[in-house]
Amino acid sequence: MSEPHPEAKIVEAADHAAASHHGGGHQGSVALLAMGAIGVVFGDIGTSPLYAMRDTFAGHHPLPLDQLHIFGIVSLMFWSMMVIVTLKYVTVIMRADNKGEGGSLALLALINQNVSGRSWSRGIVLLGVFATALFYGDSMITPAVSVLGAIEGVAIYNPTMERLVVPIVVFILIFLFLIQSRGTAKVARLFGPIMLVYFAAIAVLGIASIAKTPGVIWALSPHHAANMFINDPLKGFLAMGSAVLAVTGAEALYADMGHFGPKPIKVSWLAIVLPALVCNYLGQAALLLRDGGAIASPFYYLAPDWFRWPLLAVASAAAVIASQAVITGAFSVTQQAIQLGFIPRMSIKYTSVNAGQIYIPVINTALMIAVILLVLVFKRSENLTAAYGIAVTGAMTIDNVLLAVVLFHMWKWKPWMSLPLLALFFTLDAAYLSANFTKIPDGGWVPLMMGGAIFTLLTTWSRGRALMRQNMAEGTIPMEVFAKSANSSAHRVAGTAIFMASTNSGVPSALLHNIKHNKVLHERVVVLTVAIQDVPYVDPMERQIVKDLGQGFYRLTLKFGFLEETDIPAALKDVTLCGAKFEMMKTSFFLSRQTLIASDKPGMAIWREKLFAWMLRNAASAMEFFRLPTNRVVELGSQLEI
């Protein structure tokens, strides 16, 4: 029932993906945590070798298979990983945390605490909203492209099985989505070892290929990327649209910092993941220099005959892990979006005693339908990669904007320190984003269309809730005045009544309707507001704020972090300043349910009012969302115009 700061707490947008269901906090040895990070954080970027090199040379803007372009692309990929992943995310952005939590939402909440009220702060928030929308698009594309890219190895090794690729992929994806309701805690324990085997395999295959063409190591020099752009600027620029696939998933390092800690993620990246990726890309480049025909799938052609089917199995498992991480991340982001008032309440199922392990049926079904449609429409991973880059580069560019605010307004860096760094990040990300815009006709329109639709839903719900609160607040009387007058005019009955309220002022409509129609008041009347804070977790000692209004009336505020479960009965057990302890069997919860009537009042366009009304009708009950006892809830309805 709480409403956050209207648009200042944006969902952890593009980034709070992979790990929310696999841990909480970062206790334990660095080695064990690094293993967990390998299994959760690096699935997306780790599966990029399946298609990145192939699509760069044989995609929508193919490059000649000569040393100039092969060395140039490998150099570009390597230095992109060094600048975007190692320097930008691992070295700089991971220093900005919100009480240990990372990701766009944590960063934006941190910024909001310092710069809210500035003339440009609303624009920053809207950028964050769009990053969230792009993340949902990415959640649909990643499973489709990752599993397709892996299973296409079947056709590489046995061309007669090519017609089976799409059915196999659809079967795997359906199975993956159907098991979500059972939880993934046990399966997640295998993620780290499987991904470790995968990274070891691609590193060894790369090194074996490099040994046959050792001169390819010189491709790591940055001057080869420069030579490619100087000698063939147009094709070099267009190729950036595919080369960016080498850094997809980079933002997950920052988003999952709160679950593993910065050190394990840095260790995993620098000691295992980065070396394995570099070795594999160099190995693919060496293979292409020897045999241009391997461009059909340089990843799979690296393997000797005896290891081809085992490689297919390991790569397929890695693709499923990458998909699982994004799916569970979508659940996590949705939960936060609900908490922060950007998405209507939805039914959330807890699959483990760990609060982070959740399952949201509506999101699971929507993702499954969207992912399967993408596979059936695009059929090949190379067709889908055109849609992949825009969501990734868009989110990375938005991260640059947030980082600029942090550097200048929070860390107070000197211009001579921050400007060159920001110029480097903006130049590289802008170049990648511009190159991806050229792929809009080939599939780049997909994430833009999805992002635009989801952006409209998020902003419509946020704006509609703000207008509804504003209209409900008009003409309300102070709670203190109401308590004095109602005490003398209504009959008091035994028990406790808790009236849920969205704000800390005025009288809830449910309380007004109750006394108007029933003409009774309970011995203890509590007006309860749930307030979501700009921090991931709230100290239990600071959870409650109680105000005694006299005559048995209390105003109670329960504060939760944006990553916490809003379990009201559990929180009430610790409340001691509202008279006697709360007993659920002697407590009634009164909820307000508004029926919205679209009108021509200023505020939102009629079509957006109708959209908001539809979202309101289909929102899950507050009873289920706040985990209220089903036999102790009374709902009182009313009609409202906005």
Domains and CATH numbers, the chain: 18-341+351-462 (1.20.1740.10), 476-641 (no CATH)
Kindly compute the dihedral angle of the four CA atoms of residues 324, 329, 334, 339, in this order, to the nearest 10 degrees. Answer: 140
**Confidence grade of residue 68 (pLDDT, cut at 50, 70, 90):** very high
**What is the Cβ-side half-sphere exposure of residue 119, based on CA atoms within 13 angstroms?**
0
Q: Please report where in the chains the tokens 């809207």 appear, as a residue.
A: 126
Do 181 and 349 touch, CB atoms closer than 8 A? Answer: yes
List C-alpha distances in Å: 44 to 40, 318, 386, 526. 9, 9, 16, 48
Helix, strand, or coil here: 466? helix
Query: Rounded mean pLDDT of 393-404?
Result: 85
Q: Flag whether pLDDT at 628 surpasses 60.
A: yes
Q: Please report where in the chains the tokens 């079967």 appear, as a residue.
A: 171
Instruction: State the sign of the Cα–Cα–Cα–Cα dihedral 48, 133, 99, 338.
Output: negative
Do 501 and 475 touch, CB atoms closer than 8 A? Answer: no
Phi–psi pair at 512, nearest 5 degrees:
-65, -45
**Confidence grade of residue 500 (pLDDT, cut at 50, 70, 90):** confident
Q: Flag whether pLDDT at 406 surpasses 70.
A: yes
What are 566's two structure tokens? 């809003």
Residue 475 CA, chain-centre distance (Å), reads 39
Tens of pLDDT, residues 362-398: 999 999 999 999 999 888 887 887 777 788 888 888 8
Burial class (CB in 10 A: 0-12, 13-18, 19+), 329: buried
- Minimal CA–CA distance to 464: which of 631, 594, 328, 623? 594
pLDDT at 412: 83
pLDDT at 19: 36
Q: For residues 522 and 494, what is the distance between their CA atoms, to the nearest angstrom? A: 6
Q: For residues 219 and 425, what is the distance between their CA atoms, to the nearest angstrom? A: 22
Tens of pLDDT, residues 259-288: 677 888 888 899 999 999 999 999 999 999
pLDDT at 167: 93
pLDDT at 34: 78
pLDDT at 241: 84
Q: If you ran DSSP here, which 8-state letter would residue 33 be given?
A: H
Do 277 and 248 touch, CB atoms closer than 8 A? Answer: no
Which helix H or strand E contains 640, and what residues bound it?
strand 633-641
Q: Flag whether pLDDT at 474 surpasses 70.
A: no
Tens of pLDDT, residues 75-133: 999 999 999 999 998 888 888 776 666 666 667 767 777 766 666 767 777 887 788 78
**Confidence grade of residue 14 (pLDDT, cut at 50, 70, 90):** very low
Q: pTM to 2 decimals?
A: 0.79
Highest-scoring range by mean pLDDT, 220-229, 320-329, 491-500, 623-632: 220-229
What are 228's two structure tokens? 């490619």
What are 201's two structure tokens? 């395999």
HEC assignment per residue over 494-553: EEEEEEEECCCCCCCHHHHHHHHHCCEEEEEEEEEEEEECCCCCCCHHHCEEEEEEECCE
Q: Above pLDDT 90, what percent of the chain?
A: 22
Q: Flag whether pLDDT at 30 surpasses 80.
A: no
User: Mean pLDDT lowest for which of 181-185, 189-193, 217-221, 476-480?
Assistant: 181-185
Q: Which residue has the higher pLDDT, 78 or 492?
A: 78
pLDDT at 356: 54
Q: Average pLDDT of the chain?
A: 82
List C-alpha distances in Å: 189 to 156, 185, 192, 236, 279. 31, 7, 7, 42, 27
pLDDT at 442: 77
Do 153 and 332 touch, CB atoms closer than 8 A? Answer: no
**Confidence grade of residue 23 (pLDDT, cut at 50, 70, 90):** very low
- Output the CA angle 477-478-479, nearest 5 degrees: 115
**Confidence grade of residue 473 (pLDDT, cut at 50, 70, 90):** low
Q: Which residue has the higher pLDDT, 12 or 175?
A: 175
Burial class (CB in 10 A: 0-12, 13-18, 19+), 531: middle
Cβ contacts of 569-574, under 8 Å, gap ≥ 24: 569/627, 569/628, 569/629, 570/627, 571/543, 571/544, 574/540, 574/543, 574/544
Query: Rounded mean pLDDT of 564-586?
Result: 85
pLDDT at 315: 92
Q: For residues 388 and 377, what is the distance between their CA atoms, to the nearest angstrom? A: 15
pLDDT at 640: 67
pLDDT at 307: 92
User: Which pairing describes strands 553-560 and 544-550: parallel, antiparallel, or unpaired?
Assistant: antiparallel
pLDDT at 401: 87
Q: Flag whether pLDDT at 22 surpasses 60.
A: no
pLDDT at 327: 83
pLDDT at 622: 78
Do 220 and 75 touch, CB atoms closer than 8 A? Answer: yes
Q: Which residue has the higher pLDDT, 28 or 300?
A: 300
pLDDT at 258: 65
For residue 360, what are the contacts with CB-CB under 8 A and spacing of at least 6?
331, 334, 335, 346, 347, 348, 349
Q: Which residue has the higher pLDDT, 391 or 57?
A: 57
- Minimal CA–CA distance to 139: which of 420, 337, 290, 309? 337
